[in-house]
Chains A and B, each alone.
Chain A
């Protein structure tokens, strides 16, 4: 497509081109005169039909770790700024686009999210054949180039390195890509909702996920997954600093750990086992085993056949559990402050990533308050009622109400993150500690980001007798949860906790519309590959 377009103007503007060529030839003559002594030897080798640049380009042999080539000084693209006018450097990157035009070839080299323009012009060092070769390297191939960084007068708008270009002297293909790509990186990284743009080619979600390796190369995806790593790192760092211990819990379990959600069954030798849908039981056992404050980062499986924008069958759970002295608000504040610290860390250390996601997906920056806003469930219900929604005192928030409440809180307090405390006892699991002051409510809380629930937690009942009483009240067969109850029989400190889904937090932090965008290789009821 692009080449055809290029050809049309070339035909029409012959006269202009001719004038330019002449001017260039004149320039070249001058250059030749200046570099005469240096270039004389090389020129003597082969001017006319012979390729005087042979050996300075070509397909590199497969790298099998034969030579170390430690003399080659590789410079990352973002650091090229410091190399302007300093001589030759090596750069390895991908061919983002390559376009040979007569005696010149413009090539955009990409390294992760950074791009730089490279230029090859026929001259003393570069031959026609070399320009042609460079123009024919398929997109996405990995190449090594040796080049000089040259400052440019006018900004190069299409690249991230706008103030310089690379004047190439050697070019080798390290790994060649197929000529036909299932999706174009440019299409995949085109900003959404840019309506004025004439070219409106989109890559749909399934094509992206089928060719995830290519899709992940877009600047936005590069940023998303670096940010996701940041969430995990901050979660670990912040909690470790507060005296938490990271634990690892089994993922193959013998019985469903939580009453409600469905579990995956796997064959386990002659028997069958389940995939853990929550590390909660093991977190609590670690508390009972005197670890005081624990957290875990690991896969969580949910066999829920829900094809929504926010459900995955496998995701990364960030869970924490903490013993407290007298009031579960000790834990609530710890969790809330952990979130605030994560948001602040992202805001301060990942501004570049957030910006590059924002270039593709236009969303408002995530807003939060410090310390986090804590509302009572009853206050939330009152706000909904004021907005004209009829909801019961002991009724769980429906998804539309949840979103509406999020909008109301945003309008009043201008925060995308808030905590709702004291949920009605009736809508919480049996192990939730009831509120001592009002039997309708419980010591439980939910946390919300952009109006969607991300964490659900509570003070757990740590007294085995009371736990049995509550389980019976809920009509649960106590023999099935005997192991759970048993773990509290040898003394257990009062504790509370909660867990979040990493993908969901990243999705909501960035304001993306689909959780599949924040899972590198998402698993949902309809997708098991790649």
Chain B
């Protein structure tokens, strides 16, 4: 067979747990026979392959023990030799090993360049695990809103995420709106007040005051359909926002979605009676918890808080003591 150079010596390879852990034998081999680095590593590869094969076949139960003993033998021999040598030789050997590793790294770099593999592949995979937000630029988002149905959730999220994530909102008035009214103007001013931290990951939002029926969100006209309703926009932002607020993987996922659904229904209620009924439902979900779905603030709280602002007919009288207390807690975070 041709002698093959291994490709991934410097990375940690996570082995399946079904296999026994094996001690690294390359140093031992090096100690016994001071041949060139690459060949050693190839030896190690073969060695391991053999071991795993013998175990997989499960032909002889004693076989692993035999290999183990063999390893122990070589180790013992190595230790004895080490004890004999003085520290200078140890240092020299260590330097040699380091140099070999360095050589290997450059060699691998050349191989990679030759193959035309993107140098960032490895970083990408790690970035994915902790949310690939910094690397992949998010699509700019347009939100169309009517000044009568101000999406307070934007401001709430902006405040709540102050130190986690930047929502950069630019506001425009569409020609179908002659005047946006004082409430929307105040909302605009409050949005502008929140400082923008360029170091944080960021999403650009274009908020357009428009004579439209629903609050709608458009990210790309050619690729995606619009998202309707403030609650669903909160869900979207909850998915792309900071990890602390991403709820898809959380065990509370269903609970949060349920609360957001109640918000959606609440916003549709026309009569005070039905509104109060929805508030009672919300109280049932909250019970004695600090926030909806637990002790942590989540997008559900943002949704409820924003919905309650949009319903000025619901006063503190209509809320239960638990909800009033929650509202006070949430107010500290969302600052509206």
For the complex formed, measure the closest distance between the CB of B16 and the CB atoms of chain A, giving whole angstroms: 41
Is the beta-carbon distance between B218 and A412 smaller than 8 angstroms?
A: yes
CB under 8 Å from chain A, chain B span 170-196: 172-176, 178
Within 8 A of B (CB), among A405-430: 408, 411-415
Please name all residues of chain B whose beta carbon is closer than 8 Å to the beta carbon of A373 when the two chains form the complex.
Answer: 172, 206
**Chain A contact residue count (CB 8 A cutoff):** 22
Residue of A nearest to B176 (CB): A367
CA of A347 to CA of B176, assembled, Å: 10
Minimal Cβ-Cβ distance residue in A for B223: A386
Contacts of B172 in A (CB 8 A): 369-371, 373, 413, 415
Give a binary string over A4-16; 1 marks a CB under 8 Å from any B CB, 0 the rest: 0000000000000
B208 adjacent to chain A (CB < 8 Å):
yes
Decide: A412 and B175 in contact? CB cutoff 8 A. no
Cβ contact of B221, chosen from A344, A366, A370, A412, cutoff 8 A: A412
Which residues of A351-370 are within 8 A (CB) of B? 365-370
A412 partner, pick from B142, B174, B210, beta carbons under 8 A:
B142
A194 close to chain B: CB less than 8 A: no
Query: Known contacts being A369-B208, A414-B208, A414-B210, is A386 close to B222, with CB within 8 Å?
Result: yes
| Separation of A429 and B181 alpha carbons in the complex (Å) | 44
Contact of B220 among A348, A365, A370, A412 (CB under 8 A): A412
Docked-complex contact B220 and A386, CB < 8 angstroms: yes
| Interface: B215 (CB within 8 A) | no
**Most chain B CB within a 10 A radius of its CB, from A344, A371, A413:** A413
Chain A residues whose CB sits within 8 angstroms of the CB of B173 once the complex forms: 369-370
- Chain A residue nearest to B139 (CB atoms) is A386
Is the interface on chain B under 10, 10 to 19, 20 to 34, or 35 or more residues? 10 to 19
1/0 contact string of A332-352 vs chain B (CB within 8 Å): 000000000001100110000
A414 touches B222 (CB 8 A): no
Complex: A125 Cα to B173 Cα, angstroms = 60
A40 at the interface (CB under 8 A from B): no
| Distance of A386 Cα from B224 Cα, bound (Å) | 12
Q: How far is the CB of B71 from chain A (nearest CB, A)?
A: 57
- A476 in the interface (beta carbon within 8 A): no
A156 at the interface (CB under 8 A from B): no
- Report Cα–Cα, A505/B283, bound state, in Å: 57
- Tell me the smallest distance from the CB of A495 to a CB of chain B, in Å: 27
Interface centre among B175, B206, B220 (most CB of A within 10 A): B175
CB distance from B236 to the nearest CB of A (A): 16
Q: Which residues of A contact B220 (CB under 8 A)?
A: 386, 412
Give chain A residues whose Cβ lies under 8 Å from the Cβ of B206.
373, 413
Question: Does A387 sit at the interface, judged by CB under 8 A?
Answer: yes
- Does the CB pair B175–A370 fall under 8 Å? yes
> Chain B's nearest CB lies how many Å from the CB of A37?
58
Is B144's CB within 8 Å of the partner chain A?
A: yes
Extra 8 A-B pairs, beta carbons < 8 Å, given A365-B175, A367-B176, A386-B222: A343-B175, A368-B175, A369-B174, A408-B222, A411-B222, A413-B206, A414-B144, A414-B208
Provide 13 A-B residue pairs closer than 8 Å at the C-beta atoms, listed in order of the A residue. Answer: A347-B175, A348-B178, A368-B175, A369-B208, A386-B220, A387-B222, A408-B222, A411-B218, A413-B206, A414-B144, A414-B208, A415-B172, A415-B174
